[in-house]
Amino acid sequence: MTRAEHGISRDDVSPNALKVMYRLNGAGFESYLVGGCVRDVLMGKVPKDFDVVTNATPEQIKGLFRNCRLIGRRFRLAHIVFGREIIEVATFRGHHSDEAKDTDAPKNKVRAKQDDQGQLVRDNVFGTIEEDAERRDFTFNAMYYSVADFTVKDFANGLDAIEKREVRLIGDPETRYREDPVRMLRAIRFAAKLQMTLHPETAAPIKNLAHLLQNIPAARLFEETLKLFLSGEGEKTFFMLHEYGLIAPLFPQIEPFLSDTSCREMQFIRKVLQNTDERINSNMRVTPAFLYAALLWYPLEEHAQRLQSESGLNAHDAFNIASGDVIAKQTQRIMIPKRFSTVIRDIWVLQQRLPKRFGKRAFQLLSHPKFRAGYDFLLVRGQIEGGKLLELAQWWTQFQHADNDKQRKLLNELRRTESSGNNNKRRKRRPPKRSPDA
């Protein structure tokens, strides 16, 4: 496609990405923008980052840029760093089968490796642009924009997929999913984010292959889940993933709730995902810890109750032990970095502490560094469960916005209602008076 046909102009491209491509071209290499950025510009969206591919090897790229870092083991990549913006530059990737032609490939080429499930464990074979296009996941991700002649090379008919709003894998879907099961997550992510549907052949194998996600390293899955749920379309993505059987292998502990999406537990998750989407779409800060705390909340409650009734632990100890267990079990599938797991536990502990508001405690809780997250969490629980929990959340809504006088008043009122509640209880427990003639 020529400039007149595709309508991409240099104004749509990050000046740093342009710089990188001009430098590579100037040194006699080919270079292109590829993947999400080309797709997004063609769809009239603003790309979130710009990826470049070239026939220069990582070492040759490094030789051209002082601000270059080489990263990655599975795929070797160059990052060109411009302050806060990083332009990722990859070398054309080639075929990994033994029949692959290696005539044009650089000398330091290594064969890709597959494990016995067909999954690629190393993929550093360099190749031509045509081979690179075949190695990409979806047809709309295999379009290459060149600043040498301002053309777009559309190897897999990606433009057609954009027009039809269809997510379609390049090549044989089952093979491609086996090579890299994360592509199943990516298919759903793009469908939700780009308001597209899955091509029937791309959709068909997913349910049967969903279990392959168990073979993906937990650290990679953490990164992927961030992209899934913190993209501004988290709710839609979650329930679409569920439709394709992809939530259970990621979060085995919520599997018991998944069969009925209208149950309280799933409503809670839905509400938290909705709030997260709203926050992201109005440029507010979100933390993955909040989401993980929510996803694992009901498994935690259940596990804590079981521990309490089965091993006679007190509520406090049972809750603490259960918190550790639930997080440990989740990290077998999806790694949760320590900086987030401590926040998850803070949010949970606050759920235990927020009901206890007497004396100085209410003020201590207000100044807890994670009060806001703990309160927000309580509020959603209150909205879902109603009753006493909602009253408690509303009390905290009032209390945190009140001035000193009002706060004291709220605490006094609380003392009065609670102590009258206690009197009632005490009265009930008192043995009935014996009548003189008994």
Indicate the angle between helix axes 218-229 and 234-243, nearest 10 degrees: 120
Q: Which of residues 100-139 bind ligand ATP (CB under 6 A)?
A: 136-137
Using alpha carbons only, give the angle 89, 95, 99 rounded to the nearest 5 degrees. Answer: 155
173 part of the interface to ligand ATP, by CB under 6 A = no
Asked if 137 is an active-site residue, the reply is yes
Indicate the angle between helix axes 315-331 and 338-353, nearest 10 degrees: 150
Q: Residue 224 contacts by C-beta under 8 Å, 6 or more apart in sequence?
A: 182, 185
232 part of the interface to ligand ATP, by CB under 6 A = no
From candidates 33, 35, 96, 365, binder to ligand ATP by CB under 6 A: 35
36 part of the interface to ligand ATP, by CB under 6 A = yes
385 part of the interface to ligand ATP, by CB under 6 A = no
Tokens 């090579």 correspond to: 179
From candidates 17, 24, 33, 36, binder to Mg ion by CB under 5 A: 36
73 part of the interface to ligand ATP, by CB under 6 A = no
From candidates 141, 225, 275, 308, binder to ligand ATP by CB under 6 A: 141
- The gap between the terminal CA atoms of the chain, to the nearest Å, is 103
Q: 190 vs 396, which CB is nearer to Mg ion? A: 190
Q: 40 vs 265, which CB is nearer to Mg ion? A: 40
51 part of the interface to ligand ATP, by CB under 6 A = yes
How many residues are listed for the chain in this entry?
438
Separation of CA 236 from chain center: 13
Q: 1 vs 86, which CB is nearer to ligand ATP? A: 86
48 part of the interface to ligand ATP, by CB under 6 A = yes
Alpha-carbon span 119 to 177, nearest angstrom: 8
Asked if 51 is an active-site residue, the reply is yes
Closest residue to Mg ion, Cβ-based? 36
**Buried/exposed 359-383: b ≥16 CB within 10 Å, e otherwise:** eeebeebeebebbebbbbbbbbbbe
Catalogue the active-site residues. Answer: 49, 51, 137
Residues of this chain that interact with Mg ion (CB under 5 A) are: 36, 49
Residues of this chain that interact with ligand ATP (CB under 6 A) are: 35-36, 48, 51, 136-137, 141, 180, 182-183
